[in-house]
Amino acid sequence: MSETAKIELDGKVYELPVIVGSENEKAIDISKLRDLTGYITLDTGYKNTGATK
C-alpha cells in the first residue's frame, strides 16, 4: 500500500499521496488539493516546494 498524508479541513479528512524525490526526500502530492477541498497552499519563499518529479 502506498504511503499517504492525511489533512483535516472543515471536519473532513483527505488523504494525499506521499512520493519520494530524487534525493530520497518525501513530498506530499497536493496536485489535487484544490479540486478536492477548494483550498490552495501558500509557500512564500518556495522553500518547501518541488516543481517536478
Q: Is residue 47 part of a domain?
A: no
Interacting residues of 36 by C-beta distance below 8 A, sequence separation 6+: 14
pTM of the model: 0.81
Phi, psi for 20 (deg, rounded to 5): -110, 125
Q: What is the pLDDT of residues 13-39, one digit of tens each?
A: 999 999 998 889 999 999 999 999 999
The reported pLDDT for the residue numbered 1 is: 61
Q: Is residue 45 part of a domain?
A: no
Q: Is residue 33 part of a domain?
A: yes
Q: Give the confidence band of 53 by pLDDT, cuts at 50, 70, 90.
A: low
Comparison of pLDDT for 35 and 52, the residue scoring more: 35
Q: Is residue 26 part of a domain?
A: yes
> What is the domain count for the chain?
1
Comparison of pLDDT for 47 and 32, the residue scoring more: 32
